[in-house]
Amino acid sequence: MARSNSPTRQAGIYQRLGLRPFINAGGSYTRYGGSLMAPPVIRSMEEASGQYVSIQELQEAAGQEIAARLGAEAALVTCGCAAALTLGTAACVTGCDEEKMSRLPDTRGMKNEVILQKSHRVEYDHAVRNVGVRLIEVESRRELEAAIGSRTAMLFFLNMAQHRGRIQRKEYVEIARDAGVPCLVDAAADIPPVENLTDLIGLGFDLAAFSGGKGIRGPQSSGLLLGRKDLIRAAFLNASPNPDRIGRVSKVGKEEIAGLCKALELYLKRDHQADWRRWERQLEVIGEAFGGIPGITASHFVPVISSQVPHLAVEWDDRMLKFSKEQFMEALRRGEPRIELSPVPTEGNRLELSSWMLEPGEEIVVARRCKEVLRDLVG
């Protein structure tokens, strides 16, 4: 469904601020504003903005609805996935002990160690460290079991890195369960597939954290924490609107809560196979822009886990074509309309594009602009 806020249409506030919105052929990256919300989601946020409501009551009602939809014990809407990680970690450290909550990030005398595989370290685990815990890195099952002790508050698992670690999800969960230690999985950008919303909790993770503003297409400043009822309760008590809490800085408003509830409802009803076919067709249109040029190849691929949707890889022989990927991306950025590709660094002469954030018809514009850039760079 086309939306009036497409960059190929009226730009409104951005034009007044002197900014150039763009066509997103990269993905649901935070730096690009996540994803675009459907009109019913926007209407839900507008409705929520028109009246006062108890945030605690709203969180409880929304959590019950979301948990019922996903088959989880409980759910909490958060201010992005990073907040879900912080609040989930805080819940494992403090439980519902108010004295401990008020002391964070001072964790002296508390369980304050979080264990994770070395290959699962990522810049986003700062959200875990915010609580004041110490990260303990392990590589093997033997090291993991030896590291678990009286100070262990939580085991952390990065879903996008599961293929890099020596301990896979099922085994990791079993170790945590046998030790009586809660286990949190970070699956921020791992929707789609839609099954992750239910399967990760079903696998046995005590907590699962997701972004609300990527594949689910809710407000970008929303996130979702699913899991055990006692831990979700503790996470809420560590969050806003409660005063003197580490999560007070991650305030989620009534509008974001309402918007995420509606976005999730719509997402679960979508024809995900039809979406996939549309994304592939859009990439075929874009890929044709690179056809027939000696030295260039364009091929489809699907990332292993995060952003697990169709992508297009464009590669070229720099002995035949004397331009860099930086030149190509900058030309798309400076042209009209402005187009952004994936910002993730790649090796060699390789560009990566995705279609799942494109509005219908924008693939034609992207293909045309790619042809124009190639014409200017290649001659």
Q: Give the model confidence (pLDDT) of 217-258 as tens digits.
A: 999 999 999 999 999 999 999 999 999 999 999 999 999 999
CATH number given to 13-33+271-378: 3.90.1150.180
Alpha helix locations (H) across the chain? 13-16, 39-49, 55-70, 80-94, 98-103, 126-129, 141-147, 169-179, 196-203, 229-237, 254-269, 272-287, 325-334, 362-378
Q: CATH top-level class for 39-269?
A: alpha beta
Closest CA to 103 of 95, 112, 111, 94: 94
Q: What percent of the chain has pLDDT over 70?
A: 97
Q: Give the model confidence (pLDDT) of 26-49 as tens digits.
A: 999 999 999 999 999 999 999 999
The CB density around residue 263, as the number of other CB atoms within 10 Å, is 26
Distance CA 221, CA 83 (A): 10
What is the domain partition of the chain in residue ranges? 13-33+271-378, 39-269
Distance CA 101, CA 70 (A): 29
- What pLDDT is recorded for position 7? 47
- Whether 39-269 and 13-33+271-378 are alike in CATH topology: the answer is no
Half-sphere exposure for 334 (CA within 13 Å, toward CB): 8
**pLDDT exceeds cutoff 90 at 3:** no
Q: What percent of the chain has pLDDT over 90?
A: 93
Q: Give the model confidence (pLDDT) of 149-201 as tens digits.
A: 999 999 999 999 999 999 999 999 999 999 999 999 999 999 999 999 999 99
Element at 345 (helix H, strand E): none
**pLDDT exceeds cutoff 70 at 123:** yes
pLDDT band per the 50, 70, 90 thresholds, residue 11: low
Q: What is the pTM of this model?
A: 0.94
Closest CA to 117 of 146, 89, 143, 139: 139
**pLDDT exceeds cutoff 70 at 10:** no
